[in-house]
Structure formats: C-alpha cells, structure tokens
C-alpha cells in the first residue's frame, strides 16, 4: 500500500500545500494529542476520533493516556479495565481492537508502533485512513489520508462529483490526497507531510463545514472550484442516508436478596464484552411487560414476575433509534446463562464498577435515582 502515484505536474499542488501548511501552523487548534510526539498517542487519538466529536474525545484521551501511557501498559491491562475506561465513547469495537492490536505490537514488534503501511494495516482496527494518519503524522511519511473532513475539502476544491464513499469518486479522492502529500513532501519542509494532512483535516473540521462553510476564512479560497461555481452547498454529493429503524427493547432489572443480576455480552457483536441488565428485543405482537418475562427466560433461564416499570431510555446508534423499557423484576429458580459470557449478582453500589453501554448506565441511574459520574 506504499504511495507511488506521481502527479503529471505538482506545481499547482505545491502552491496549494504551501498555503494549507502556512494556515495550519498559524491557526490550528491546541489539542492534547498534538502536544505529544508519540506514535502511540497519535494512534489512540485517531481511533477515538472515529465517529466521535473532538470535544468529547479530549477528556477521554487525557484519562486514557494517564491510565495506559504506553503500548505495553495497554497490552497488559485486562479487557474489562480497557472497556471501563472507554465507557461513554461508544462503538466499543474500537476499544477491543485497540487492546488486541496493542498486544500484537508488543508480541510482534517489540512494543514499538510499526512505521510501514503494510504492517500498520495488519493490526486490528487500523484501515487505510488510520494507517496513513499514523504514518504521516507520527513518522512524517508522505502517505495520504481520507476521512469525511478531508473528502469534503477535496470534493469542493477540485469539484469532484459523485458519492465520495463510492468509486470512482472515492478512488479519485485518494489519488488527489496522494498527489498533495507527495507535493508537500517535495518542498523539503520539516513535518510537511504531517502538517499537510492535519491541515486538510483541520480545514474540514473548522472552516469547510458540511453546512454553511466559512469560505472567507479559507486559505485556499481562490483555488476552490466549488467557490468559483457557487456549488459549496452541492458538493460533496453524499449518498442518501438509510432510513431510521426504531426498535423497542426491554431490560430485566432482576433483584434478589438486595442484589442485581448483571451479565456480560459475548465479545463479538454489538456492545461486545460489556455488562448489562438482561436485555432483548420486543416482538411486534408483545407488550413490553410480556417481552421482559420472555427475555429473562431466554437469556438467563429465570422465571420472573414484573414488580414495576423503572422507566424508559431513548438511545441513538447509527441509523437506529432504540427505545429501551426497563422493568424491576423478581426471580424464581436458578440462574443459567445460555446467551451471556458471564453473569454476577452484585450490590447496587457495585454495578457501576462494570463497563456498560450508555443505555444501561441510564437505567442504572433510574434505579439509583441519581446521575452517575463518568
């Protein structure tokens, strides 16, 4: 996956790169991962920033680096601890992949983050974009990157039509990103590849916004095809979003002798490795009350009776808008776990010690009657 494209002439690209790098060095945001010259920190930040806003990531990144300051520290940590530190960021497969990748870096690379693209993309959770970001930002290699922000900038500057996530538009954008980073590296400017790629991301995040871009602040406004043709609101031509699905789920808050039953989901799948009150989908012909009785039987082999409704929680994830109904239940019989990896009866004050998805934390707050701190 080594970058080998050579633009026919990179003079226009060099001027573009010069303007972007100059702007970035003058106006970029002070973010904690930019203050650390460490490939591991770059890697962690790029994973956290996937589908998550910068301001949300900042405190998580700082706490993460305090708890797991090196690849070795992360690799040696129990997965439960890793997931607990990730709690609230969502998309937990990122944390599981990061943990597994850290173990492979320790076992196969002596604890040093590899520099080569072909080695980076073999690590769990690292695709072409993340590998390019690590290689260019941490190791100053002329490797291209293409995330949503960069794609939007390139679509507008070069007038690229079509869905940027699909070919041929996606391939064209990768080629343009490669041309630019090669042109930047030819200027023999220190950190050129790193700053050029970060400039593209920064421009898309702060100026070239999806709606109402702040064009007067753009350092390459004169070179922007969308600006010349008045198509800022048309480009990029993003694909149609999937229709929102609105499933109903139920959770059984089962109490026995002053303890609650929580169960750990299988590692693979949605919310893998996280702990929850037994939960499942509500059938179209079921009431939530009848569904929770069925779910308790199917998931943990318990016969339960509903005591009262605890409340309901709304949660959005990608194109799903989930309504989760929680019921306090009494149980009869012995607990078995045909679905869950593990289960435990815990005291009310112990439930928050286990890593849980956001909807479950909200249920726990309803049960406790007070918000839980992160």
Among 35, 46, 312, 350, the one annotated catalytic? 46
What's the CA gap between 298 and 293, in Å, rounded? 9
Give the CA count within 13 Å in the CB-facing half-sphere of 53: 3
Residues 6+ apart with CB under 8 A from 290: none
Interval 48-98: pLDDT, tens: 999 899 999 999 999 999 999 999 999 999 999 999 999 989 899 999 999
What's the CA gap between 89 and 241, in Å, rounded? 23
- Domains of the chain are 11-229 (1.10.340.30), 248-368 (3.90.79.10)
Strands 279-281 and 342-346: unpaired
- Residue 334 pLDDT > 80, yes or no? no
pLDDT reported for residue 32: 97
Q: Is 308 a catalytic residue?
A: no
Give ∠ CA 8-14-15 in degrees, rounded to 5. 125
pLDDT reported for residue 243: 85
Q: Is 320 helix (H, G, I), strand (E, B) or coil?
A: strand
10 Å CB burial of residue 34 (0-12, 13-18, 19+) is middle
Q: Tell me which residue has tokens 């790629």.
A: 197
pLDDT reported for residue 321: 86
pLDDT reported for residue 337: 65
Interval 148-205: pLDDT, tens: 999 999 999 999 999 999 999 999 999 999 999 999 998 777 789 999 999 999 999 9
Least confident of 26-35, 99-108, 184-193, 217-226: 184-193
10 Å CB burial of residue 162 (0-12, 13-18, 19+) is middle
CB atoms within 10 A of CB 22: 13
- Residue 317 pLDDT > 80, yes or no? no
DSSP 321: E
- Residue 2 pLDDT > 70, yes or no? no
pLDDT reported for residue 78: 95
- What is the pTM (predicted TM-score) of this model? 0.86
Confirm if 52 and 30 have CB atoms less than 8 A apart: no
Of the candidates 359, 364, 336, 360, the one whose C-alpha atom is nearest the C-alpha of residue 348 is 364
Interval 102-140: pLDDT, tens: 999 999 999 999 999 999 999 999 999 999 999 999 999
Interval 256-297: pLDDT, tens: 888 999 999 988 878 888 999 999 999 889 999 999 999 999
């Amino acid at each position: 996956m080594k970058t080998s494209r050579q633009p026919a002439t990179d003079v226009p690209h060099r001027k573009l790169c010069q303007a972007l790098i100059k702007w970035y060095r003058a106006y970029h945001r002070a973010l904690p991962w930019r203050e650390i010259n460490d490939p591991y920190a770059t890697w962690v930040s790029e994973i956290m920033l996937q589908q998550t806003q910068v301001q949300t990531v900042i405190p998580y990144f700082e706490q993460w680096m305090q708890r797991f300051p090196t690849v070795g520290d992360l690799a040696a940590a129990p997965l439960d601890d890793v997931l607990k530190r990730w709690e609230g960021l969502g998309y937990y497969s990122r944390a599981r992949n990061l943990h597994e990748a850290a173990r492979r870096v320790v076992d196969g690379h002596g604890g040093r983050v590899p520099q080569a693209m072909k080695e980076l993309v073999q690590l769990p959770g690292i695709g072409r974009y993340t590998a390019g970001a690590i290689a260019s930002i941490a190791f100053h290699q002329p490797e291209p990157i293409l995330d949503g922000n960069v794609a939007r900038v390139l679509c507008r500057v070069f007038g690229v039509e079509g869905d940027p996530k699909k070919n041929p538009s996606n391939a064209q954008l990768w080629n343009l990103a490669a041309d630019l980073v090669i042109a930047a590296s030819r200027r023999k400017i220190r950190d050129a590849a790193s700053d050029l790629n970060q400039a593209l991301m920064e421009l898309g995040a702060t100026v070239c916004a999806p709606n109402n871009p702040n064009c007067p602040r753009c350092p390459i406004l004169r070179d922007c095809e969308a600006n010349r043709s008045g198509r800022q609101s048309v480009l990029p031509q993003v694909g149609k979003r999937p229709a929102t699905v609105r499933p109903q789920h139920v959770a059984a808050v089962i109490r026995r002798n002053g303890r609650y039953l929580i169960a750990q989901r299988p590692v693979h799948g949605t919310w893998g490795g996280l702990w929850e009150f037994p939960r499942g989908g509500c059938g179209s012909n079921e009431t939530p009350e009848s569904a929770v009785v069925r779910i308790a039987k199917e998931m943990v082999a318990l016969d339960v009776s509903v005591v009262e409704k605890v409340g309901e929680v709304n949660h959005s994830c990608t194109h799903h808008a989930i309504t989760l109904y929680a019921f306090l239940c009494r149980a009869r019989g012995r607990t078995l776990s045909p679905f869950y990896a593990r289960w435990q009866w815990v005291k009310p004050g112990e439930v928050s010690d286990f890593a849980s998805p956001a909807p479950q934390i909200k249920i726990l707050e309803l049960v406790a009657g007070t918000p839980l701190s992160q």
